[in-house]
Amino acid sequence: MIKLLVAGEVYPKRQHIFPLLKPFEKSGAFTDAQRMSLYNISENDVHFVEVMQDADFVLLPMSWNFYRSENKMATAKQILAQANTANKKVLSFMVGDFGIDIPDFENVIVFRHSGNRAWLPETHVGMPAFVEDPMQKIFKTEGYFNRAHNQTPVVGFCGQANASMLNAAKELLHTAARNVRSKLGMSRGQAQQLLSTSYLRAAILRTLEKTSIVTTNFIYRKQYRAGATTPEMRAKTTREFYENMRDSDYVVCVRGAGNFSVRFYETLAMGRIPVFVNTDCLLPLAETIPWKKQVVWVDYKDRNRVGEKVAAFHESLSAQQFEDLLAENRALWKEKLTLGGFFQSVLSSESNRK
């Protein structure tokens, strides 16, 4: 059981509440069975204490973005100082596609989805995008769909991709301007890679379509969620999205505006193999999960060889190894990349270091 001290006020801004608190910030009608089903964590897994010395960790309840935008950084720093005096590590996090600049605190872990690993201190830790179980939500089952190991791998993708050079130029100018504002101290946001992510995604897909060593299963959308505006349309396009994954062996996962991919975690949840284009991403549990074994790892410099990478990975697997990997990825998501699974894994690891 993890013992946590929530240090400070929890404000009614759910987006900014520390993820591990959210399962416990529910109405009285929310049962522990529902908590387990939705978040994979139980009230028996976490004990909230009142005294700092009794805690395994001190939890900063709101995001760094919140403390910065609400001019409450002094409050956060005071909590950190108290924890440091008590020799307690503090858990904190950032929200959004882009990080914000904060001081480098030695006794603080900063969980975040996005960021460039090479640019960040080791205290900044990758956090999954927590997604609802698509097998339960869409397909009404606890299992996953197995696939046979065919000679030619099927690579799927359903979403937006824009090969327009004009759009790419606009993205680059926008990012460059944001980086200048960041460097001059005119923005709280951190500088980002100078990269057109929509063009990168389109280029990856185009490279795969040109090769004969993989079979592509792509659905192109001109708008996010195909422009769905009603619950019925959103349900239809969401089902099509996951059916595309179901009918593929591998799924292209390229960063979006932020340097991370939600699709990466959705793919694992479906028991499929991500084709992960690494743009110096901040992956969760990088010290314990052998990511290069679980996914087709394509470094950004090798993006033009993505077809070769997929084909070589697929050829290296026997039929049984391929089927085992699908099962492993589904289990990996459930056990370590759901909200409860992730925090119990990472905090158990941190506790063992003490």
Residue 215: phi and psi, rounded to 5, are -105, 130
pLDDT of residue 183 exceeding 90, the answer is: no
Question: Distance (Å, rounded) from C-alpha 229 to C-alpha 160?
Answer: 16
Do 101 and 242 lie in one domain? The reply is no
Do 216 and 237 lie in one domain? The reply is yes
Do 289 and 344 lie in one domain? The reply is no
Full residue range of the structural domain in which residue 155 is found: 134-337
Question: Distance (Å, rounded) from C-alpha 313 to C-alpha 336?
Answer: 24
Residue 221: the pLDDT is 87
Q: Which CATH number covers residue 152?
A: 3.40.50
Residue 351: the pLDDT is 78
Residue 203 CB coordination number (10 Å): 18
The rounded mean pLDDT for the chain is: 92
Do 345 and 296 lie in one domain? The reply is no
Q: Which of 56-60, 181-185, 313-317 has the lowest mean pLDDT?
A: 181-185
Do 165 and 314 lie in one domain? The reply is yes
Do 22 and 107 lie in one domain? The reply is yes
The domain tally of the chain equals 2
Interstrand relation of 273-278 and 250-253 (parallel, antiparallel or unpaired): parallel
Question: Distance (Å, rounded) from C-alpha 84 to C-alpha 52?
Answer: 11
Do 105 and 175 lie in one domain? The reply is no
- Residue range 3-23: mean pLDDT, rounded: 95
Residue 101 or 237, more confident: 237
- Residue range 22-42: mean pLDDT, rounded: 91
Do 68 and 163 lie in one domain? The reply is no
The residues that bridge with 46 in the sheet, in sequence order, are: 2
> pLDDT for 151-182, tens place per residue?
999 999 999 887 777 776 777 677 667 667 76
Question: Distance (Å, rounded) from C-alpha 349 to C-alpha 285?
Answer: 10
130 DSSP 8-state letter: P
Do 107 and 245 lie in one domain? The reply is no
Q: Which percentage of the chain shows pLDDT scores above 70?
A: 94
Residue 190: the pLDDT is 65
Do 166 and 120 lie in one domain? The reply is no
Do 197 and 259 lie in one domain? The reply is yes
The pTM assigned to this predicted structure is 0.92
Q: Which residue has tokens 């008590």?
A: 86
Asked if residue 193 lies in contact with residue 115, where contact means CB atoms within 8 angstroms, the answer is no
Do 61 and 210 lie in one domain? The reply is no
Q: Which band of pLDDT confidence, cut at 50, 70 and 90, is reported for residue 187?
A: low
Question: Distance (Å, rounded) from C-alpha 269 to C-alpha 144?
Answer: 9
pLDDT of residue 291 exceeding 70, the answer is: yes
- Residue range 26-46: mean pLDDT, rounded: 91
